[in-house]
Amino acid sequence: MISLCCFSKNRPMQLHAFLESLKNAPYITDSVVLFTYDDDRFKSGYQEVMRKFNKVVFIKEQEGRDWWKETILTLIGGAKEYFCWATDDSLFYRRHGISEYKLEWAFKEQNAVSLNLRVGANIKWQNHWYAEKTPDIEILDTLVDDSCGGADDVIVWDAEPLGTQNDFGRVWQNDASIMLRDAYLERLLIEDHWYKGRGCRGLDNVAQSGNIFSPRIAASLHRSVYVNIPVNLVHLLDDGRLYADNFGRFIKQDIFDLQDKFNKGLRIDWERIDFSELDCGRKEVVYDYK
């Protein structure tokens, strides 16, 4: 029903946990991992992940912006009607229900631009060190689902007054936003600013460029289902600087140490992480292993 593409760099251990967590998202019917690494110590890790998840398509990134643009457009063009990006340091942390009916209601009756799996009424903070609160949203309509105590109700709101500097206003995030394939592809085809960078960060900047969407109706489940675990950072800007300083602020876990553990047969025991009180789309945790 929904195609997914996950970005991965230098994180075989975390990617393994993410792909395991897809069992909580049974509506994902086909998955692609677009991966790269800049140290050969990660090569064996990716080879092991590919052996384990042999129904997932793995594509190794190549050099050149032309390759990047053509690959992204080809991936999206060949996807199902609905499409979702993801990142390897994230999890689908709870099992939930998204049906064709819910998607039809959100996208075709409510004219939503996206359905964001990382936000919901439970998300009160925009960053995991509790410095910026989530802006107030006025729920325009709700599709009630009685099967999960309201957690899987679908809500919609007007994102236009919220700007694009928060998770509730950025309607086309490349981190767990379900989008209509054709609408998203059309957005990218008219964009000539592909110089903004490779990877999920650069592509996110391309999609949000110009803040041109009006109206910008956004949707989510009442309770989020996807969480990012920012304990290490691997992406750089084109000038070599780290993209942001908000990763691993409290808990830092070295990517090489994680790879050493992975080589020894350890795997992240992600199902033991307590997300019951989750109030932010990002949460630093200390990994336990199985």
User: Across-strand partners of 85?
Assistant: 5
Strand blocks (E) in 37-150: 57-60, 82-87, 90-92, 112-116, 139-143
- Please give the C-alpha separations between residue 186 and each of 22, 77, 89, 219, in angstroms, as whole numbers: 28, 10, 28, 20
Residue 103 backbone phi and psi in degrees, to 5: -65, -45
In a domain, 290, yes or no: no
User: Does some domain include residue 289?
Assistant: no
165-189 tens-digit pLDDT = 788 988 877 789 999 999 888 877 7
pTM value > 0.85: yes
Q: Is residue 285 part of a domain?
A: no
- Within-domain flag for 286: no
With respect to residue 282, please indicate whether it lies within any of the assigned structural domains. Answer: no
Q: Which amino acid is at 147?
A: S
Number of domains in the chain: 1
∠ CA 122-128-129, nearest 5°, is: 125
Give the structural domain span for 189: 2-272
The structure tokens listed for 204 are 């996110």
List, for the chain, all residue ranges whose pLDDT scores fall below the cut of 70. 191-214, 235-247
pLDDT in tens, 74-113: 999 999 999 999 999 999 999 999 999 999 999 999 999 9
Residue 34 lies in a domain: yes
**Is 48 domain-assigned?**
yes
**CATH number, domain with residue 90:** 3.90.550.10
Residue 281 lies in a domain: no
Q: What share of the chain is helix, strand, coil (3-state, %, to 5)?
A: 30, 20, 45
